[in-house]
Amino acid sequence: MLVAQVVLALRWRDVVSIANHSGGSMRMRHWILIAGLVAGLGCSDGGADDACGMDNSFPAICPGGAIEGDYEIMNAADAEAIACCMTVTGTLDIAGSRSCVDDTSLTSVSLAQLTTTGNLTVGSQGGCTHGETPTALTSLDFPALISGSIRIENSPVLRSLNLPMLTSGGVLVLGSTALTSLSLPMLTSSDGGFGVFGSTTLTSFSVPLLTTVGTNFSVSRNAALTSFSFPVLAIVTGGFDVGDNAALTSFSVPLLTTVTGQFGIYRNAAFETSLAQAVRDQLTAAPLTTLICGNKSGTACP
């Protein structure tokens, strides 16, 4: 009750900021954010720089705070139009295949109010005739997003992806070659799979609370990646794939015991074969197939 009473006096963006920078436990951050939602802080306090009103009213595009169905962001105006919306029940598509238009004025997207979406897709998903990709989009910031399936593809200048409150949903980042930052400090389950592919600049990342991955887990073709860590990951109900990361020297999955699909650690030229075998040996049951090859001090792949 005390937390709820405190947040009643705050704007929603203030609640998000406090949750993200409280320095407390992950559970406390969740309670702060959820208390803000219960208190009805869907909008901010109506200052000159605010798009939302003090009375928690929402724009016509999201009555009650929710967009029913899909929504597409093609430019900055589209993002501004949903600045006060909290939910997109369908797919939130940013600079993607629906429009097949690359608007170079769209350099960043930040939706501080958004807490839930069915799917969040960014970049061309292969449906465009000329393969249009967002050539100016450099950063994505969703400080309050708790759940949603994330798929970011063919975003060549995207450098920063911030999802500090995301707790559940698949996360796939493909072909975002400039990515330097990946923040997923509260992700606990990833039913739609987890994958980071094709970054030439990402050097390391950690997902400290992720325990289970549905479908597949893959970290592949990241040229600069030297290390990554999933300290509590235990179950992958699909394939486990770490391959073609030329600079990778270490990764940590100390609690991983279950992989139900294919298991592969391959063509990581700087990663010792003995370390790959140690990961395989900690599994409590044999995976569907095993591929360990092309790593340092190991045999070549067939």
DSSP string, 165-231: T--BS-EEEES-TT--EEE-TT--EETT-EEEE--SS--EEE-TT--EEES-EEEE--TT--EEE-T
**Considering only CA atoms, which of 178, 174, 184 is closest in space to residue 210?**
184
pLDDT of residue 208: 97
* β-sheet bridge partners, residue 228: 205, 251
pLDDT of residue 5: 36
pLDDT of residue 270: 98
- The CA angle 59-136-122, to the nearest 5 degrees, is 60
Spell out the domain ranges in the chain: 1-45, 46-293
* β-sheet bridge partners, residue 93: 72, 121
CA distance 22 to 26: 10
CA distance 21 to 287: 40
Task: Give pTM, 2 decimals.
Answer: 0.80
pLDDT of residue 295: 98
- Looking at the chain, the number of H-run helices and the number of E-run strands are 5, 22
CA distance 33 to 296: 46
Looking at this protein, which amino acid is placed at residue 11?
R
Tell me which H or E stretch contains 88.
Answer: strand 87-94
CA distance 152 to 164: 16
CA distance 36 to 43: 10
CA dihedral 282, 219, 94, 64 (to 10 degrees): 10
CA distance 245 to 296: 12
CA 26 to chain centre: 17
Tens-binned pLDDT, residue by residue, of the chain (302 aa)? 444 333 333 444 455 455 545 555 555 555 455 445 444 444 443 333 344 544 456 778 898 899 999 999 988 899 999 999 999 999 999 987 565 666 788 899 999 999 999 999 988 655 554 445 678 889 999 999 999 999 998 888 888 888 999 999 999 998 888 888 788 999 999 999 999 999 999 999 999 999 999 999 999 999 999 999 999 999 999 999 999 999 999 999 999 999 999 999 999 999 999 999 999 999 999 999 999 999 999 999 99
